[in-house]
């Protein structure tokens, strides 16, 4: 809401108050678009809707998978996609010993993941290239992989949390709470990429993406601090309260929203929906308890992000 409010205010200053704007919010067909419209109109008041302060702005939604073309060719001036292109079009491999690539993953598993990621990144860009007008801009922000300065290890955003989810899920499969097959079938269908992988279609001037007219104006790697760690630390420093339970509660509720479906999908369809939900509720409860017993100084996970600004020539 905030960023589009500011963007539209700037554009209105530039083009005059009577200029009309169309904003299209895009997500998968399963997305809860009804909540989006309730937010736009103010029925859900927070965060405040940018529409309430402006005239001549028209909001639509598109429920189309972004690996397909979502809107007519040559029709968009500006597009923005935040924290979404790490999700792949399909699960490229089933990691046998983990829910996501880790140090023990086989070469075949790792290669399959990165091959799918490369293909998907190209598809995503080619679709957007068709949709953009000449001179139009595409801004992409993506959770990324960075090398840890201390250990030299490649760490992706959510490394601590994914490691812990994996540990508890593995224990469930060892104790028989879930089957071995269900563990193998639980995979995060995403890929955290490096700057080199994100730049590749642009650095190669003969790639289909470059030939489609897309050029990279800037590529920036940023580390955003862990907000839950900051809140915990502030309470500790200012009020003298070491509230690790609150840290764990906030962490799990924020990250359950993107990770829940991975575990629900991994469970066998011979189980009822109720049974699946009970197991997955138990997982997040156990993870929450474990985090609350950890030191946030060690568990904290800064968000590693890459921002790309791309133009259609």
Ligand X SMILES: C[S@@+](CC[C@H](N)C(=O)[O-])C[C@H]1O[C@@H](n2cnc3c(N)ncnc32)[C@H](O)[C@@H]1O
**Tokens 């995979």, located at residue:** 187
CA distances from 3 to 38, 50, 129, 232 (A): 18, 9, 23, 26
In the complex with ligand X, the residue whose CB is nearer, 21 or 67, is 67
Per CB under 6 A, the list member of 23, 27, 114, 290 interacting with ligand X is: 27
Per CB under 6 A, the list member of 25, 54, 78, 84 interacting with ligand X is: 84
**Which range binds ligand X by CB under 6 A, 79-87, 111-119, 179-187, 245-253?**
79-87
Per CB under 6 A, the list member of 87, 154, 236, 243 interacting with ligand X is: 87
CA distance 205 to 200: 9
Burial 107-118 (b: 16+ CB within 10 A, else e): eebeebbbebbe
In the complex with ligand X, the residue whose CB is nearer, 158 or 178, is 158
CA distance 70 to 179: 39
Q: Please compute, for residue 240, the number of CA atoms within 13 A of its CA located in the half-sphere on the CB side.
A: 0
Residue 78 near ligand X by CB under 6 A: no
Instruction: Give the residue among 29, 51, 27, 55 at the shortest CA–CA distance from 38.
Output: 51
In the complex with ligand X, the residue whose CB is nearer, 117 or 178, is 117
In the complex with ligand X, the residue whose CB is nearer, 83 or 94, is 83
Per CB under 6 A, the list member of 4, 66, 228, 305 interacting with ligand X is: 66
**Which range binds ligand X by CB under 6 A, 26-34, 156-164, 194-202, 289-297?**
26-34
- Please spell the DSSP secondary structure of 86-107, one letter per residue: TB-SS-----SS-SS--TT--H
In the complex with ligand X, the residue whose CB is nearer, 45 or 63, is 63
Residue 10 near ligand X by CB under 6 A: no
| Token representation of residue 5 | 């409010």
In the complex with ligand X, the residue whose CB is nearer, 83 or 265, is 83
**Tokens 């799990």, located at residue:** 252
Q: What is the dihedral of CA 158, 291, 231, 6, to 10 degrees?
A: 30
In the complex with ligand X, the residue whose CB is nearer, 210 or 255, is 255
Please, which contacts does 4-10 make with residues 24 or more away whose CB atoms are closer than 8 Å?
4/50, 5/50, 5/53, 5/54, 7/78, 8/50, 8/54, 8/57, 9/54
**Tokens 């760490």, located at residue:** 155
List the interface residues with ligand X, window 256-295 (CB under 6 A). Answer: 258
In the complex with ligand X, the residue whose CB is nearer, 62 or 97, is 62
**Which range binds ligand X by CB under 6 A, 65-73, 174-182, 199-207, 240-248?**
65-73
Residue 67 near ligand X by CB under 6 A: yes
Residue 28 near ligand X by CB under 6 A: yes
Residue 37 near ligand X by CB under 6 A: no
List the interface residues with ligand X, window 198-237 (CB under 6 A). Answer: none
E strand intervals along 29-172: 57-62, 76-82, 132-143, 145-147, 154-156
Per CB under 6 A, the list member of 65, 73, 215, 230 interacting with ligand X is: 65
Residue 123 near ligand X by CB under 6 A: no
Distance in Å, CB of 274 to ligand X, minimum:
24
Residues that bind ligand X (CB under 6 A): 27-28, 31, 65-67, 82-84, 87, 258
């Amino acid at each position: 809401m905030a960023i589009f409010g500011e963007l539209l205010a700037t554009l209105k200053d530039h083009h005059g108050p009577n200029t009309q704007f169309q904003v299209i919010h895009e997500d998968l067909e399963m997305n809860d678009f009804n909540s989006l419209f309730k937010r736009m109109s103010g029925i859900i008041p927070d965060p405040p809707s940018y529409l309430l302060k402006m005239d001549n702005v028209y909001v639509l939604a598109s429920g189309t998978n972004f690996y397909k073309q979502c809107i007519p060719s040559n029709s968009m001036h500006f597009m923005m996609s935040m924290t979404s292109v790490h999700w792949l079009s399909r699960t490229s491999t089933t990691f046998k010993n983990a829910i996501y690539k880790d140090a023990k993953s086989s070469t075949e598993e790792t290669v399959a993941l990165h091959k799918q990621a490369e293909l998907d990144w190209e598809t995503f860009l080619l679709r957007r290239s068709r949709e953009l007008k000449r001179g139009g801009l595409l801004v992409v922000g993506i959770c990324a992989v960075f090398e840890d300065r201390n250990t030299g290890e490649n760490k992706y955003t959510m490394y601590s949390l994914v490691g812990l989810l994996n540990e508890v899920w593995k224990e469930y499969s060892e104790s028989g709470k879930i089957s071995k097959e269900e563990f193998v079938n639980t995979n995060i269908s995403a890929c955290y990429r490096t700057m080199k992988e994100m730049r590749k279609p642009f650095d190669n001037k003969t790639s289909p993406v470059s030939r489609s007219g897309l050029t990279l104006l800037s590529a920036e790697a940023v580390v955003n601090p862990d907000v839950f760690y900051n809140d915990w630390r502030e309470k500790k420093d200012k009020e003298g309260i070491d509230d690790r339970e609150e840290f764990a509660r906030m962490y799990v509720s924020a990250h359950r929203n993107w990770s829940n479906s991975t575990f629900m999908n991994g469970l066998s369809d011979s189980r009822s929906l109720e049974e699946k939900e009970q197991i997955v509720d138990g997982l997040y409860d156990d993870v929450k308890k474990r985090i609350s017993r950890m030191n946030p100084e060690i568990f904290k996970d800064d968000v590693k992000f890459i921002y790309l600004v791309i133009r259609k020539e």
